[in-house]
Amino acid sequence: MNPLDDTRRLELLRAARLARAHAYAPYSRFRVGAAVLCGDGRIVPGCNVENSSFGLTVCAERVAIGAAIAQGATGFHAIAIAASPPAMPCGACRQTLVEFNPDMVVLIAGPDGDLDETREMRAADLLPDSFRFEP
Ligand code: THU
């Protein structure tokens, strides 16, 4: 079974958009939602969490991945990211996605719209020649 059919893609988008409503972004006012599809089919959401000490801000993608890890989930197949306008993942998030699965499918979407308005890429293509800790 393909774990990422269009039904799953739409579920991921919906979860990312719902999570976006929970974003804590009083400084930038740029709300981002994410949702990760885990190996067992679970979908785990995240949103950006800012701080008055701006550098402490955590992106939606890393909140979703961290929450999934904390739930014991593994084998991440895909992540959806929703923002307005659509946002490409930052460098730190790209490194985090590649850490868990270079083949992870990354869906980049706006606040609404269908799959034909969603960009789809692969984590490793977003971060070529990524760092690997191989002593
Ligand atoms: N942000 C994310 O949550 N994900 C991204 O991929 C890019 C940026 C957040 C961080 C910050 O809260 C706001 O967007 C503006 O940078």
CATH code assigned at 109? 3.40.140.10
Domain that holds residue 26: 6-125
Identify whether 34 is part of a domain: yes
Cα 59 to middle of ligand 1, angstroms: 5
Check residue 65 and give its pLDDT.
Answer: 98
Tell me how far CA of residue 87 lies from CA of 2, 42, 69, 71, in angstroms: 27, 24, 23, 26
Identify whether 135 is part of a domain: no
H or E stretch covering 10:
helix 6-20
The beta strands (E) that lie in the chain are given as 32-37, 43-47, 78-83, 105-109, 119-122
Identify whether 133 is part of a domain: no
For atom 6 of ligand 1, the residue with the nearest CA is 89
The answer to whether residues 21 and 41 touch, using CB atoms and an 8 Å cutoff, is no
Ligand 1 mutation target, pool 20, 49, 50, 59, most atoms within 8 A of CB: 59
- Residue 73 CA to residue 89 CA, distance in Å, equals 21
Identify whether 131 is part of a domain: no
30-69 per-residue burial string, b: 16 or more CB within 10 A, e: under 16: ebbbbbbbbeeeebbbbbbbbeeeeeeebbbbbbbbebbe
Cα 41 to middle of ligand 1, angstroms: 26
Q: State pLDDT tens for residues 53-74.
A: 999 999 999 999 999 999 999 9
Question: Considering its fold, how many domains does the chain have in total?
Answer: 1
Identify whether 61 is part of a domain: yes
Identify whether 60 is part of a domain: yes
Check residue 3 and give its pLDDT.
Answer: 85
Residues in contact with ligand 1 (CB, 6 Å cut-off): 25, 28, 30, 32, 48, 50, 57, 59-61, 87, 89-90, 93
Identify whether 44 is part of a domain: yes
Cα 40 to middle of ligand 1, angstroms: 27
Question: What stretches in the chain show pLDDT beneath 70?
Answer: 1
Q: State pLDDT tens for residues 5-15.
A: 999 999 999 99
Q: Which residues are catalytic?
A: 61
Identify whether 1 is part of a domain: no
Check residue 2 and give its pLDDT.
Answer: 76
- Residue 124 CA to residue 121 CA, distance in Å, equals 9
Q: DSSP state, 67? A: H
H or E stretch covering 123:
helix 123-126
